[in-house]
Chain A
């Protein structure tokens, strides 16, 4: 009995120590970045291009570049992914062998390291199709990276809509297509939206897929067409921290870029969480 008590004390202590270590890491990590980065952030920093060989000025083109990349990637991946999910959930027969294949292919692609997409994008979009290192190539690479996530989350969202919704709509004389667009898709809207936002948040922070497909270290202004390269926040931080000729001189800009990037990505996560909670409360089924 004494032994059991002692082992409980020890077990609980270990668990407490573990959680304290985790929270200490989390706290130190966030505090370190905020402490060093907060002083850099200013209106000028987020609205001005870099000057003096990156040692001064802001990161405006990198912010816009990242936004352009994710907007383009989502503009292609969302319709494609949503329509595919609608087919898989509403039309395709559930038992067909093709469905099994598709499921496992999508599921596996979802776990593929992002650098493999970067390699594919470089070989296929940049070289083989001849788009070159540009916004289009990088956005397409991000598109195929987030497509499996969008398909999977949309499939899950469509599946949660109760069949009685579909039956009710059809019983009122609506066609299957009307039922899907007017009833099923709106009812699964929160799931699709949160899934897409999370996918986009991940895409915004990725460096590996855009490394050689479209990101550049410096550009005079914003890209004037999709065939020009872009600056992007994660790549900007990567280059400033590892390849700049005077790494310590650009340290403040690195911290500022890191903080802007984290803020951007976390605000996506926050919006997704808010949407999910909002609709979960409202949901009646």
Chain B
């Protein structure tokens, strides 16, 4: 009997592991925030939200706006390409093609999502950079457009796959009712199927956006890396994650520059948080409707 009372309780045992995991998760958030926020004690707010990112100069400037601009323009280009391609591709697979062909096409396209980002960067560097350079007669091929196209290929499977799932989960009765009323197949897709699948499609786009905005290595290899707001897709740009990757190797531990890089990390947290809350809200509300 005495021996039995020493038997470890499964609840306690697993609770210890769960606490460790939870602590790690919270610790990462808190650590990054604690290292990032002191930037405001060291330089002015107007400096942090300024237009010039020049952290290593004698009169350093930590303006994050050019980096936000870089992230937005590159992600914007990526989505402008991948949303129409992904959406029409999903419509083709779920509504137009022979289902057997669709069943082969979808996993084939999903292969793209497991290929490492460094390989995309490599491909972009060798194929797209010279192509963009010669097609548009530019001095360099490393531009926001190049990075946007590479990212478009990377997020395409996410958008297509989730859009396809939600389009094909629209109940058949909806489509049959519309067809029975004399609507063409295309009219049915446009007016019935797509609106019914809108939530899922939006979630896919949000997840694609999240993936694009956080991508580092592939962008770093093809974007040119200048933190300048030019307003042109044909000039080099620099994203937030790219800045962390490019500069964290040389930064002095505890310096202002170090805080600035962590502050970019905080910004990325905020973006991630907004995107995942939006996605989970959408999913929840659509779940309640059904």
Chain A residues proximal to chain B, CB less than 8 Å: 4-5, 7-8, 11-12, 14-19, 21-23, 25-26, 29, 32-33, 79-81, 83-84, 86-88, 90-92, 102, 104-120, 122-124, 127, 144, 147-148, 151, 175-177, 180, 198, 201-202, 204-208, 211-212, 234-235, 237-238, 241-242, 254, 258, 261-262, 265-266, 268-269, 273
Main secondary structure of the interface of A (DSSP, over half): helix
Q: Is the CB of A105 within 8 A of B89?
A: no
Given contacts A11-B190, A122-B248, contact A202 B214 (CB under 8 A): no
Using A25-B153, A81-B21, A92-B18 as known contacts, say yes or no to A211 and B92 having CB atoms under 8 A apart. Answer: no
Give residues 1-15 of B contacting A (CB, 8 Å): 9-11, 13-15
What are 26 of the A-B contact pairs (CB < 8 Å)? A18-B89, A22-B85, A22-B160, A23-B108, A26-B109, A80-B20, A83-B13, A83-B16, A87-B17, A113-B213, A113-B272, A115-B214, A116-B32, A118-B244, A118-B245, A202-B114, A204-B116, A205-B114, A205-B116, A205-B117, A205-B119, A207-B116, A207-B217, A208-B241, A211-B249, A234-B116
Verify if B262 is at the interface (C-beta below 8 Å from A). Answer: yes
**Pair B111/A266 contact, Cβ less than 8 Å:** yes
Chain B positions near chain A (C-beta within 8 angstroms): 9-11, 13-18, 20-22, 24-26, 28-29, 31-32, 35, 84-85, 87-89, 91-93, 95-97, 105, 107-109, 111-112, 114-119, 121-123, 125, 127, 153, 156, 160, 183-187, 189-190, 210, 213-217, 221, 241, 244-245, 248-249, 253, 258, 261-262, 265, 268-269, 272-273, 275-276, 280
Instruction: Kindly provide the distance from the CB of A264 to the nearest chain B CB, expressed in whole angstroms.
Output: 9
- Are the CB atoms of A265 and B186 closer together than 8 Å? no
Q: Which 9 A-B pairs have the closest CB atoms?
A: A205-B116, A113-B214, A83-B17, A18-B88, A8-B186, A177-B10, A87-B14, A87-B18, A15-B92
Supplied contacts A18-B92, A205-B117, A211-B245, 19 more A-B pairs, CB within 8 Å: A7-B187, A11-B186, A12-B186, A15-B89, A18-B87, A18-B89, A19-B92, A80-B17, A83-B13, A102-B25, A105-B22, A107-B276, A109-B29, A111-B272, A113-B213, A116-B244, A147-B24, A198-B114, A237-B122
Chain A residues near B117 (CB-CB < 8 A): 205-207
Chain A contacts of B87 at CB under 8 A? 18
* Contact B22–A111 (Cβ < 8 Å): no
Residues from chain B with a CB closer than 8 A to the CB of A14 are 88
Task: Please report the C-alpha to C-alpha distance between residue A162 and residue B221 in the assembled complex, in whole angstroms.
Answer: 48
Given contacts A91-B10, A92-B18, contact A241 B24 (CB under 8 A): no
Q: Which of B89, B125, B248, B273 touches A22 (beta carbons < 8 Å)?
A: B89
Q: Are A115 and B216 in contact (CB under 8 A)?
A: yes
Tell me whether B96 and A15 are in contact (CB under 8 A).
Answer: yes
**Closest beta carbon of chain B to A83's beta carbon, Å:** 3
Contact A115 B24 (CB under 8 A): no
Contacts of B85 in A (CB 8 A): 18, 21-22
Residues of A within 8 A of B122 (CB): 237, 241, 254, 258
| Docked pose: A198 CA to B113 CA in angstroms | 11
Contacts of B253 in A (CB 8 A): 123, 127
Q: Are B156 and A22 in contact (CB under 8 A)?
A: yes
Give the distance to chain A from B70, nearest Cβ to Cβ, in Å: 14
| Given A19-B92, A83-B14: A113 and B215 interface contact (C-beta under 8 Å) | yes
Q: Which of B97, B111, B187, B241 contacts A269 (CB 8 A)?
A: B111
- Is the pair A208, B245 in contact by a Cβ cutoff of 8 Å? yes
Which residues of chain A are near B105, meaning CB under 8 Å? 19, 23
Are A123 and B22 in touch, CB under 8 angstroms? Answer: no
Partner of A241, one of B14, B20, B125, B261: B125
Output the least CB separation between A201 and chain B (Å). 6
Name which residue of chain A comes closest to B111, CB basis: A266
Among A29, A84, A112, which residue has its beta carbon within 8 angstroms of that of B21?
A: A84
- Whether the pair B221, A212 counts as a contact (CB closer than 8 A) is no
Contact of B118 among A108, A112, A205 (CB under 8 A): A205
Q: How far is the CA of A101 from the CA of B37 in the complex (A)?
A: 23
Cβ B108 vs Cβ A112 within 8 A: no
**Min CB distance, A88 to chain B, in Å?**
6
| B118 pairs with A207, CB closer than 8 A | yes
Q: Are B89 and A32 in contact (CB under 8 A)?
A: no
Among A32, A208, A258, A265, which residue has its beta carbon within 8 angstroms of that of B216? Answer: A208
